[in-house]
Amino acid sequence: MTREEQAALAELERRHLTRRCCVTLTIPLLAEPEALAPVRHRIRAYFALWDRLDLADTAELCVSELITNAIVHIGPGTPITLHASMAGLHPRISLTDPAAHAFPTLLPATDDAESGRGLALIAALSHEWGVIQDPTTKTIWCELEA
């Protein structure tokens, strides 16, 4: 086996072991505009790890919309948790917040509205999306095309 083949094999083994350890990415953060860029970079790196850069732009946009919705509708500084998972048939992104009472609603935005398209974008970009509520939290999730 050549040196190049050994290096390639070692890289494949490293990626395989890393993937097995990182099926789900969990990022606890505060709902702040300053959090958007670093979280988008981490999501892109996560999708690159799984050789799914074809979905990275969509994943970044979904993450941006989920975090922005938390900032706008729940409030800046709220502790939230973002998850990304490759465990199912479709890559899944979700955001959990402590505002179980603030149920998100998909409403049509007028042509001149400056906001109000977050859930519509998530619905358009994802294979499927939804909300899971429990007594103290809610989780908005979306699954991307595989």
| Phi/psi-derived region of residue 134, left when phi > 0, alpha when psi is between -120 and 50, beta in every other case | beta
Q: Is the pLDDT of residue 96 over 70?
A: yes
For 17-39, the pLDDT digits (tens) are 565 566 889 999 999 999 999 99
Looking up tokens 């729940």, which residue turns up?
74
Which pLDDT value is given to residue 17?
58
Q: What is the pLDDT of the chain when averaged over all its residues?
A: 86
Which pLDDT value is given to residue 93?
97
Q: What is the mean pLDDT of residues 72-87?
A: 94
Q: What are the φ and ψ backbone dihedral angles of 42, each rounded to 5 degrees? A: -65, -40
